[in-house]
Structure 1
């Protein structure tokens, strides 16, 4: 590692595109599986979805003997605790990130921001990111909204040089395998014409992405306390996506 404290955001202005899920999955995989030091700043006020997920994870690990044992075994093996999840508001996102790095050094700091560039402080917070990944899906409404968002960020922040942004990428999410042919070729042609980049790896549309800690102790996928279950990772493309992202953002 030549550089640390790289700030990353999965960001879009369309709700339900998967930015929060991608933030958690990527942060947890990099921390618990790959060994990187990460932190998450949850600025998605007032939902604070990631902070609330952390609360649920801790509650389950405290009250459920199965998860209590799992957590003990994991943190004993790793010899470190959970990565920090800090709440903030969009207009103070960059300040919160700076406060984090003053206390410790992180390889990656992920920011989860509200899904609109019109909210106070969003553009400034985005301008302070090193890399932005924008989830998109083949739904026409979602795609058009996401492309407008990415184009606006590219025009107002990246092209003008008025930001720290080193890279802006689209990420195909919730892909229906039956459609990943001509339809996506047409969409990617439009994306290329807009001067936008898209990652090679895509995530399929699968219910596994919603699996959290449960009383039934089913294999989990989305958690701030544990990495995605290895069996569920197979076929999810999560490992390939994280590797591709790591190659881009980690210098």
Structure 2
């Protein structure tokens, strides 16, 4: 399974959700996982290297890579169809290197927030993605949501995004997320994260 984490808009929590998914699939579901860090900041790779100094055997590998490397990488990574390959994408759409990555995807997880600019970027991302890979499944995750979001905005955004994929329950803006590592997810976040990932990965966990 190849699962992308993407949105044209930066700062929506792609990297955090990539790590959370890696922890969930490897630690909770015992699924072989490899994370490919294509984000320009390489925050997952940095987190991984830092954690390796402090922890024991890592639960999965994190590989920094660029879009140009993907065609070469994909032939190696997809040899075993039962592995979960999680790819943290750069926050952009204006690179032809995204096309083979989009085409390879079985699932795309797209975090977003309920503001006009992020909504427009998210819709554009979904339109381009579906044009390149019409069969791909998309799961939209409302992320870092504050309690004062107006219901009217949520309703309108959800109606539009539901044309492209499923919309999960919201993830609130909490300080606990700063304590996530590539070795563990804080127990305090289990009740928030686990039901969302169970919903997203349910069919694929059964088939793996």
TM-score, length-scaled by structure 2: 0.88
**Equivalent pair of 1:24/1:224 in contact (CA under 8 Å):** yes
Q: 1:25 aligns with which of 8, 20, 44?
A: 20
**Aligned counterparts, 1:64-213, within 5 A:** 68=55, 71=56, 81-102=58-79, 106-154=82-130, 156-159=131-134, 165-179=135-149, 181-192=151-162, 195-211=163-179
- Distance of 1:109 and 1:119 partners within structure 2: 21
Q: 1:130 to 1:94 in 2, by over 3 A?
A: farther
1:35 positional shift:
1.4
Q: Flag structure 2 segments of 5+ consecutive residues without an equivalent.
A: none
Q: Equivalent residue of 1:39, what SS?
A: strand
- Distance of 2:133 and 2:36 partners within structure 1: 22
How far does the alpha carbon of each residue in 1:22-63 deviate from its partner, in whole angstroms, 9 at most, with x for none? Answer: 000111121112211111111224x2221111011113x1xx
**Aligned counterparts, 1:220-239, within 5 A:** 222-226=180-184, 228-234=185-191, 237-239=192-194
- Distance of 1:111 and 1:19 partners within structure 2: 10
Q: 2:46 aligns with which of 46, 49, 52?
A: 52
Q: Equivalent residue of 1:179, what SS?
A: coil
Pick the structure with greater CA Rg: 1
Q: Equivalent residue of 1:126, what SS?
A: helix
1:87 positional shift:
1.9
Q: Equivalent residue of 1:132, what SS?
A: strand
How far does the alpha carbon of each residue in 1:53-99 deviate from its partner, in whole angstroms, 9 at most, with x for none? Answer: 1011113x1xxxxxx5xx4xxx5xxxxx4211112211222431321
CA RMSD of aligned residues (A): 2.1
- Distance of 1:206 and 1:87 partners within structure 2: 27
TM-score, length-scaled by structure 1: 0.74
Q: 1:190 to 1:100 in 2, by over 3 A?
A: closer
Q: Flag structure 1 segments of 5+ consecutive residues without an equivalent.
A: 1-5, 62-67, 76-80, 160-164, 212-221
1:105 positional shift:
6.2
1:122 positional shift:
1.1
1:120 positional shift:
4.1
- Distance of 1:7 and 1:108 partners within structure 2: 6
